[in-house]
């Protein structure tokens, strides 16, 4: 019997492999592959999906990159509930390559991307650098279509914020980005120099990218994502799509890929009809040096904040800076160098006009374009720049605005004289030309134009063209964190027509707040942020932070005795289930020459958040602060 058993096992050893090899071989839907990363200084991995038939010919394919959320990796995302094998069917259906990257920084640390609150930013490694490295690896290894019109991003949760950040950082390299219930705002940058990126104010960078936002009906971020959605509506002029899906903080219910497919379809449709670069584009960046649309920018920025390129066209551009979005003061003394794209005639002389609005004086000098048609400009501080040669036309932009009595804020319910100051950054006209300006008012702005601005005259004598309107607003204070100010479209009609915009802050009609405490060096809650004698009374030259109860106040004023250039922000995460969404409070400096007894009037706000769904509620008041010597 033992001999028979041996023969049976021996026969099985011969024939079972043959039988098993005759069975159909299951297709592998994806591959998890390594590559050597110079950015990370070690091996990194990614998950790769190739469309059916990829190896049969030399066809090239567009690429979609997927960014996971908190706790995720290239091979898993516990919150997203992705059906990884079923996603292969979508890759085959839409004929794309899909790459899932790994945003992990160190094993055992679930928080990806080196972003979040201050203590979460622990590395000099930046995901904006790794994205370019990974794209270069994918494009050099696989049959991809390598232009920006065939590259898109989908991101979930923290990866949703990252998808819009990367797309806005590189609008010349990405044509579409989907944010699936993403985080609304985080600090990004280096451990010693990082800046808060609030997505609801970040759409200037995304104007040339087709973007989509997925929101949930009862997820933790539903209210904060609604603020982002309101920000997109307020910005206007976007190729923007929004959809709210039933459920919580996830991509799809288990066993489904319906919502993931809507994201993929949006990106694939963008590949078929991508946006071109705007005729006048804008870009902000919190890195001191950056490249965008073949413009190279270098600066000595060494603190949090943004370097801003405004209304960039062949006719010129503006250079500015902001300590925070949307309305932070400039970074004092910032030096910026811009080398343009090769859009000028090589080895040709051009006139360059430079107007720092704070100085008021226009400077003009001649430069010569390089052999490849680039022009380099260097400035100190915010400056409007025009570039033209003989025979070019004028080019008008909105440079600034003024209100009567030096005010900067509209007062709700009051009538104002609003002067829109145009700057001709192009060639001076050979003859006097009438200029008409129209203000386009959004329906929700509660803004009334009482008297239209009379046509002004553009001449060879001045580059500044003021147009004055009589206006009034009854705009109400928002109850959540969406953009608060009045935003107007501006149409300029002269020899040519130009479209621009103007944002004006508002003192809302809100009740006064009497219970205010002053931190002028005395600790009111956790520690002292102000600087002064610590007696709790505002005095000239002091830095003060105001409280009502335990709430720190965000302050807005156009009082001449408050030095806006010296304002700083104190930020904190209001306690809730997740550390998403920040509240910022104003640390302001009172001028040394403020008179005794002077009353400074502030518009003030503070935030609270509901714990579970993180609803940010904003309360507004008027505050009167008496300064005493």
Q: What pLDDT digit, counting tens, does each position of 415-430 carry?
A: 999 999 999 999 999 9
Q: Is the pLDDT of residue 20 over 50?
A: no
Q: What is the pTM of this model?
A: 0.94
Give the SS3 label for residue 441.
coil
User: pLDDT band at residue 19, thresholds of 50, 70 and 90?
Assistant: very low
Mean pLDDT of 555-581: 91
pLDDT at residue 18, as a whole number: 39
Cis peptide before 163 (omega within 30 of 0): no
3-state secondary structure of 52: coil
pLDDT of residue 375: 98
The residues near 15 (Cβ < 8 Å, ≥ 6 apart) are none
Q: What is the pLDDT of residues 75-84, one digit of tens each?
A: 999 999 999 9
Closest CA relative to residue 181, chosen from 242, 236, 235, 240: 242
Residue 11, pLDDT score = 36
Provide mean pLDDT across the span 294-312.
98
Contact between 599 and 626 (Cβ < 8 Å): yes
Q: Which tokens sit at 603? A: 């518009």
Write out the two tokens for 202: 């970040």
Q: What share of the chain is helix, strand, coil (3-state, %, to 5)?
A: 20, 40, 45
Q: pLDDT class for 266, splitting at 50, 70, 90?
A: very high
Choice among 291-295, 313-317, 439-443, 529-533 with the minimum mean pLDDT:
439-443
CB 264 within 8 A of CB 146: no
Could you tell me the pLDDT band of residue 26, with boundaries at 50, 70 and 90? low
Q: How far apart are the first and last CA of the chain?
A: 111
What are the CA-CA distances from residue 504 to residues 297, 410, 473, 488 (Å)? Answer: 28, 7, 11, 8
Among left, alpha and beta (phi > 0; psi -120 to 50; other), residue 247 is: left
Q: What is the pLDDT of residues 360-383, one digit of tens each?
A: 789 999 999 999 999 999 999 999
Question: Tell me, what's the pLDDT at 609?
Answer: 77
Dihedral-angle region of residue 161 (phi above 0 means left; psi in -120 to 50 means alpha; beta otherwise) = alpha
Q: Is the pLDDT of residue 585 over 80?
A: yes
pLDDT band at 5 (very low <50, low <70, confident <90, very high): very low
Residue 22's pLDDT is what? 44
Tokens linked to 527: 């520690």
Q: Closest by alpha carbon to 368, among 392, 341, 350?
A: 350
């Amino acid at each position: 019997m033992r001999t028979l058993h041996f023969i049976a096992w021996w026969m099985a050893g011969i024939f079972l492999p043959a039988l098993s090899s005759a069975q159909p071989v299951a297709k592998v839907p994806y591959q998890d592959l390594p590559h050597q990363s110079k950015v990370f200084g070690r091996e990194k991995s990614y998950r790769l999906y190739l469309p059916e038939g990829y190896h049969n010919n030399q066809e090239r394919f567009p690429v979609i990159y997927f960014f996971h959320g908190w706790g995720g990796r290239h091979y898993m995302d516990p919150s997203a509930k992705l059906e990884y094998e079923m996603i292969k069917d979508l890759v085959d259906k839409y004929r794309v390559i899909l790459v899932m990257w790994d945003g992990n920084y160190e094993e055992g640390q679930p928080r990806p991307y080196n972003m979040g609150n201050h203590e979460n930013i622990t590395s000099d490694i930046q995901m904006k650098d790794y994205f370019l490295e990974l794209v270069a690896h994918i494009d050099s290894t696989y049959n991809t279509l390598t232009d920006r019109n065939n590259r898109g991003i989908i991101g979930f949760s923290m990866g949703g914020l990252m998808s819009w950040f990367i797309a806005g950082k590189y609008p010349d390299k990405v044509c579409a980005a989907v944010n699936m219930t993403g985080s609304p705002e985080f600090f990004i940058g280096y451990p010693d120099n990082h800046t808060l990126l609030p997505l609801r104010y970040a759409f200037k960078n995304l104007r040339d990218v087709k973007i989509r936002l997925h929101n949930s009906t009862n997820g933790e971020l539903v209210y904060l994502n609604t603020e982002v959605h309101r920000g997109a509506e307020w910005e206007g002029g976007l190729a923007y799509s929004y959809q709210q899906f039933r459920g919580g903080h996830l991509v799809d219910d288990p066993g489904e890929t319906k919502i993931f497919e809507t994201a993929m379809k949006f990106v694939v449709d963008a590949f078929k009809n991508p946006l071109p670069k705007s005729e006048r584009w804008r870009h902000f960046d919190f890195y001191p040096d950056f490249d965008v649309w073949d413009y190279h920018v270098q600066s000595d920025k060494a603190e949090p904040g943004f370097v801003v390129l405004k209304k960039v066209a062949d006719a010129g551009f503006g250079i500015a800076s902001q300590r925070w979005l949307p309305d932070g003061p400039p970074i004092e003394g910032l030096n910026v160098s811009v080398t343009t794209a090769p859009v000028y005639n090589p080895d040709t002389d051009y006139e360059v006009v430079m107007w720092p609005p704070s100085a008021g004086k226009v400077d003009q000098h001649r430069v010569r374009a390089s052999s490849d048609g680039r022009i380099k400009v260097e400035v100190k501080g915010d400056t409007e720049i025009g570039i033209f040669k003989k025979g070019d036309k004028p080019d008008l932009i909105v440079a600034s605005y003024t209100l009567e009595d030096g005010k900067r804020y509209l007062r709700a319910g009051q009538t104002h004289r609003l002067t829109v100051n145009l700057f001709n950054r192009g060639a001076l006209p050979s003859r006097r030309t009438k200029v008409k300006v129209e203000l386009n008012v959004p329906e929700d702005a509660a803004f009334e134009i009482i008297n239209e601005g009379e046509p002004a005259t553009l001449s060879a004598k001045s580059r500044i063209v003021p147009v004055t309107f009589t206006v009034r607003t009854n705009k109400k204070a928002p109850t959540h964190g969406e953009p608060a100010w009045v935003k107007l479209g501006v149409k300029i009609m002269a020899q040519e027509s130009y479209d621009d915009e103007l944002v004006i802050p508002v003192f809302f009609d809100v009740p006064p707040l009497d219970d205010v405490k002053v931190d002028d060096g005395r600790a009111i809650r956790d520690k002292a942020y102000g600087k002064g004698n610590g007696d709790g009374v505002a005095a000239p030259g002091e830095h003060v932070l105001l409280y009502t109860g335990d709430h720190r106040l965000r302050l807005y004023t156009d009082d001449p005795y408050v030095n806006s250039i010296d304002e700083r922000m104190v930020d904190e995460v209001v306690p809730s289930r997740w550390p998403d969404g920040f509240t910022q409070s104003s640390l302001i400096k009172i001028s040394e020459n403020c008179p005794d007894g002077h009353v400074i009037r502030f518009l003030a706000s503070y935030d609270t958040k509901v714990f579970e769904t993180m609803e940010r509620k904003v309360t507004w008041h008027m505050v009167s602060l008496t300064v005493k010597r």
